Structures are given as structure tokens and as C-alpha cells.
Amino acid sequence: MDFPCLWLKLLLPLVAALDFNYHHQEGMEAFLKNVAQNYSSITHLHSIGKSVKGRHLWVLVVGRSPKEHRIGIPEFKYVANMHGDETVGRELLLHLIDHFVTSDGKDPEITNLINSTRIHIMPSMNPDGFEAVRKPDCYYSIGRENYNQYDLNRNFPDAFEYNNVSRQPETVAVMKWLNTETFVLSANLHGGALVASYPFDNGVPATGALYSRSLTPDDDVFQYLAHTYASRNPNMKKGDECKSKMNFPNGVTNGYSWYPLQGGMQDYNYIWGQCFEITLELSCCKYPREEKLPSFWNNNKASLIEYMKQVHLGVKGQVFDQNGNPLPHVIVEVQDRKHICPYRTNKYGEYYLLLLPGSYIINVTVPGHEPYLTKVIIPEKSQNFSALKKDILLPFRGKLDSIPASNPSCPMIPLYRNLPSHSAATKPSLFLFLVTLLHIFFKQ
């Protein structure tokens, strides 16, 4: 046996260090396949579909059980390159993958995240657009849209107005993907500004549009999530780094306050996917020069990791009947913050509710029975990489009525269109904003 060669192999990393260059489809695929092969115990590579031109939409899953969902382990995702000419996020996600697989077992924070979270990373949702860019530009390049010339971030069903566009293969693939996983938290990565933007992107008077904003029932959580990311990015938190753009106090904005957007992925995730998603604009220039990529990684690395940890906010658990059987498709909501499309347990009877510290009443609704209410107190100091665990045993006697697998009350139509303006959350709240900032300050 050649012992010097053996020792050399043991000392060398399993995957060659990822360079700071733009990786086209062939190079990206080679990197992802190499990672999946060499770190097979913590990664799983699969395609959720194909682009118009037949390019795979690759997703790399990182976790202790990457191929399947585990009870109590929340699902997190990052998606980049919806617009083919917005390139920084694509490269950052490749470097995030590289950092995770090479830090497992060495960095306690990364190891704990891998142990406690199933992480899905899609570096490019629009590979056709990326490959179509011939002359990179800071403001606009041919390649923003997909091959059929559709803007993928205007291509989803909209809860505020009819979005009668032809649904594209990339969009359909993502919509199906959302139905196969229990995603809890997400972010989509863009370029052309430097800001963390939170829902809603579209709006009606019922969500606060008359106040030039459009707020969700979970606005406190969304403000906290956006500030969590922006506050750790030294340039984003300044709010005025892109001199030709508008200023964003603390690097954060409500999407609708910035500009109304119809058919966006962010709102679709929250309303129909039960997944909290924000939009991260990471660079003033959409397609910056390659030599700037290391500084983008240095400025975003801490934010990317800290944001992922927020998937463990709030409370999680399973809902059981009196015989200990988990109940799927049961509505589990917090009183006074009901979603227009009610959040339900998954096929394992699990629920995940992202909440800031405080006292809440959880309302569990089963067809044919009175709502079951239970109190939960989210502590100020979150548990170690885990939301508060609270299983719910329903006290109902007799056999529970059959619970439908689908949700007929949530068709993909403008659900908010005829809703009266009634929510206090639609009004500007300085108190809420200050509470959110204080919570972030004391966690740092």
C-alpha cells in the first residue's frame, strides 16, 4: 500500500475549493453532483423539474436525513436566480453549500443547523435566462425573463387580483415542490437593490394599501425576519448604499411600500404554501464583476446563516386524536392572526407556527367539532435550535369526522379581493416596530 498517497488523500478536502467565478449550468451541475457524491450522508441532489429549454432545476438538500422528512425537523429553503441576469444570489448559494458541507463536525453552529433542519437550496430557478445573458449589465440584460420571455416573479397566482398569464414550467415546478414539502421559512435572492423586503408585495385596502403598505397577520414576525438579515449585512443595514435607488431605513422595506407587484413568489409562498418568505436584494448592480463576489460572500455569510436559524422560532408539534393517531389537514392557527388560507397540519399531523416571544392562544379546528383552544407561552430565550414543542391531544369523544385532504376553501383566486378593511395589523404601528427592533437588539 502506498501510505504517502493514502495520507495525502485523507488530508485533502473531498471537494476542491469552490472558486469565486460565475458558474454556468455545466459547472454548477458538476459542483452539485460532486458534493452529493462526496457528502452523501448529509446531502441529496434532485431535480424538481426542467426549464423551457430542458435544463434541470436542481435542488441540493442538506441535513442529517436529507432524502426524507423527519418528524419535528422543519424544512427551510433558499431560491436564487429567478431573474437570469441577477447573479449574486446564485453564486452565494453555491458557496453556502460549500461552507456547510466542509464545516459539518467542525463548526458547532453549522453542525447544529444540519442536525436540526432540513435545508433545501436551489441556486437557479431560471437557468435559461442565466445562460442567455451575453452582455452583463448592472441594470438590465437580456436573460432576465425565462426562454418564453416571462418574468417568473410575476408568474404565480395572486391573492389580490387575477393573474391571467401562462404559467411557465419553472413556476409550475416550484408550485408542485411546495406541495411536496412542509416548508416553514424561505428567502428568494435577487439583485438590483440592497434591501430585505417582506410581504405583502401586492395589496388591497384590507391589508393596508391605503397607508401605502400591505401587511400580513404575521407582520411582527416578518419585520423581525427582515431585520435579522439586514442588520448583519454591513452595507444593507445602512439603507442608502445604492445611490441611484431609494433609501430603505435599516435596510428593510415592506414589498408593497416599495412598489406593488402582481404574481410574486413571496406572497404565493405565504398564502398557499404556508411558508414565510422574504425577498433579499443583495447587490446594487444586478450582474457585478466576478472580482466583487468574495466581498458579497463576506457581507452576506453571517446573514444567510442567522436567517436560517429563524426557522426554529415559535412553536411546533403534532395534533393527535384520543387514540394517539396523528391528524392531518387540521386547521391550527393563532387566535387574532388567522390566515386567509388557514394553515393546516401536514400528513404527519405536524404544525409549525413562527412566533416571537409572548403569550398566544392556539385555535385547533376539526370539522364537526367546536374549536379547541390551548395557551402557549413562547419564552424570551429560544431553545437550542428548536422551536417550543407542544403536541396537542384533542379531547373529543367518539370518532372524528373525516378530514378532507385538500383545502376547498383556498382556490388560487384573489382571496383578498372582497375582504373588508378590518385588521388592526393594516395600520402603521410604531410600537410594533420598536418591539421588533428591541427583540433583535437583545438577541445579538
Query: What would the pLDDT profile of 3-45 be if each residue is shown by its tens digit?
Result: 444 444 444 455 567 999 999 999 999 999 999 999 999 999 9
> Is the per-residue pLDDT at 407 higher than 50?
no
Q: Cell digits for 5?
A: 498517497
Length of the chain: 444
> Rounded CA gap, 196 and 193, in Å?
9
> Rounded CA gap, 350 and 355, in Å?
16
Q: Cell digits for 46?
A: 434532485
Residue 419: band (very low, low, confident or very high) from pLDDT cuts 50, 70, 90: confident
End-to-end CA distance of the chain: 52
Q: Helices 108-116 and 88-103 meet at what angle, rounded to 10?
A: 100
Query: What would the pLDDT profile of 375-399 be if each residue is shown by its tens digit?
Result: 999 998 766 789 999 999 998 765 5
* Range scoring the smallest mean pLDDT among 132-136, 187-191, 202-206, 311-315: 132-136
Question: Which ranges of 168-277 does DSSP label H, i.e. alpha helix?
Answer: 169-180, 219-230, 255-258, 265-272
Positions of E strands within 123-275:
183-190, 193-198, 252-254
Share of the chain above pLDDT 70, in %: 87
Going by DSSP bridges, is the β-strand pair 43-50/56-62 parallel, antiparallel, or unpaired?
A: antiparallel
Q: Report DSSP state, residue 392.
A: E
Q: Is 114 exposed, middle or buried (0-12, 13-18, 19+ CB in 10 A)?
A: buried
Q: Do domains 25-312 and 315-402 have the same CATH topology?
A: no
- Calculate the average pLDDT of the chain: 89
Q: What angle do CA 413, 417, 422 make, to 5 degrees?
A: 135
Please choose, from the candidates 215, 261, 296, 244, the residue with its C-alpha nearest in 3D space to the C-alpha of residue 82: 261
Query: What would the pLDDT profile of 93-150 be if each residue is shown by its tens digit?
Result: 999 999 999 999 999 999 999 999 999 999 999 999 999 998 888 888 899 999 999 9
Domain boundaries, the chain: 25-312, 315-402
Query: What would the pLDDT profile of 297-348 be if each residue is shown by its tens digit?
Result: 999 999 999 999 999 999 999 999 989 999 999 999 999 999 999 999 999 9
Catalytic residue set: 281
In this prediction, residues 422-436 reach a mean pLDDT of 45
Q: Quick check: 349 and 318 in contact, CB under 8 A?
A: yes
In this prediction, residues 158-167 reach a mean pLDDT of 96
pTM for this prediction = 0.91
Q: What is the pLDDT of residue 253?
A: 97
Q: Which CATH superfamily is domain 315-402 in?
A: Carboxypeptidase-like, regulatory domain (2.60.40.1120)
Domain over 25-312 is classified CATH 1.10.1510.10: no
Query: What would the pLDDT profile of 240-279 be if each residue is shown by its tens digit?
Result: 889 867 889 999 999 999 999 999 999 999 999 999 999 9
